[in-house]
């Protein structure tokens, strides 16, 4: 692992450090990307200093976790050098079947789901286990106790949430404090130049009260912020492969796509060859509570190009941030500048 150019941040209010860019398996590992290519993207990321790899029980019906575990064994990486996360909620099996208690955050599923995830990962523990979505049907106390059980039994070091509201996170912390248990130290929301309100407004009180960390997904809005969709949907692209909801988002994104195209000259100001995607990724990392931005990759070249964004973060000053806001026209109202 070459960590000379990679940057590392604390995972929220913990003493554990994660690479500011991490590699995730959503829609790639065990899915659209062949296994050997996926393993090579992991290897390229690791060799560039990435120490944080993210997965979930529901990614490709468990195949993403299997692939991650196989890659770590195959490449002979030291488990103690890595930060591995997975997520529980959806409970899909490889054949797509689901038992009556396979979905949600009941204590029963949390314990069973973790056991199966660790088997697929070929690990004794994960560093972070997330509640992949809030569960309206399970009492919050049961959820908090369930995830604390995983910590107390050594199956996980920390627990976090993904796509929870600030109210739900606060509720989890109130219960954890009352029971002298551990609250969620990190949230995994979508955050990028297009999706801003939750991270910049809704979660603001959580940063002050808990120093909540963020491991954000879709920092490039599934490729939209790279500019590759500015002239339509290229053959073989993610929108072309997935169709349905994502293809519709691209086709209806005329105004935003036009704004994305206007970011290109700003990217070039940061240096020769700097891309819109690298600018967008560096912009995401400017948020002080972002511990890590999770990228997906379908090629080694894509990994290497995205990792160049790390070197751009310190070059983005307040003046450039203001100009980016002018181009995007979507800065949430009523909040101070994020990076003073």
Active-site entry in 46, 59, 89, 130: 59
Give the whole-angstrom CA distance, residue 110 versus residue 163.
17
The question of whether 59 is a catalytic residue gets the answer yes
Distance CA 218, CA 246 (A): 13
The residues annotated as belonging to the active site are: 59
């Amino acid at each position: 692992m070459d960590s000379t150019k990679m940057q590392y941040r604390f995972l929220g209010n913990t003493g554990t450090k994660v690479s500011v860019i991490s590699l995730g398996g959503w829609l790639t590992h065990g899915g659209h990307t062949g296994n050997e290519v996926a393993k090579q993207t992991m290897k390229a990321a690791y060799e560039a200093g990435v120490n944080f790899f993210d997965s979930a029980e529901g990614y490709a019906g468990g195949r993403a976790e299997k692939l991650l575990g196989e890659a770590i064994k195959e490449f002979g990486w030291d488990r103690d050098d890595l930060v591995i996360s997975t997520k529980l909620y959806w409970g899909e099996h490889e054949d797509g079947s689901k038992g009556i208690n396979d979905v949600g955050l009941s204590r029963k599923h949390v314990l069973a789901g973790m056991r199966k995830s660790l088997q697929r990962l070929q690990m004794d523990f994960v560093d972070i286990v997330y509640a992949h979505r809030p569960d309206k049907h399970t009492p919050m106390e049961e959820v908090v106790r369930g995830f604390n059980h995983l910590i107390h039994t050594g199956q996980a070091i920390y627990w976090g949430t993904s796509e929870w509201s600030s109210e739900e996170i606060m509720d989890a912390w109130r219960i954890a404090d009352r029971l002298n248990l551990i609250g969620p130290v990190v949230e995994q929301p979508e955050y990028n130049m297009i999706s801003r309100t939750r991270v910049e407004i809704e979660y603001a009180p959580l940063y002050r009260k808990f120093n909540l960390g963020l491991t954000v997904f879709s920092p490039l809005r599934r490729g939209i912020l790279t500019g590759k969709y500015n002239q339509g949907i290229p053959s073989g692209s993610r929108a072309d492969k997935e169709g349905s909801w994502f293809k519709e988002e691209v086709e209806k994104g005329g105004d935003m796509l036009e704004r994305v195209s206007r970011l290109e000259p700003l990217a070039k100001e940061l240096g020769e060859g700097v891309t819109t995607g690298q600018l967008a990724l560096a912009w995401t990392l400017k948020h002080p509570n972002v511990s890590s931005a999770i990228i997906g990759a379908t090629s080694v070249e894509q990994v290497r190009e995205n990792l160049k964004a790390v070197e751009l973060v310190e070059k983005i000053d307040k003046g450039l941030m203001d100009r980016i806001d002018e181009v995007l026209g979507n800065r949430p109202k009523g909040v101070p500048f994020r990076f003073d």
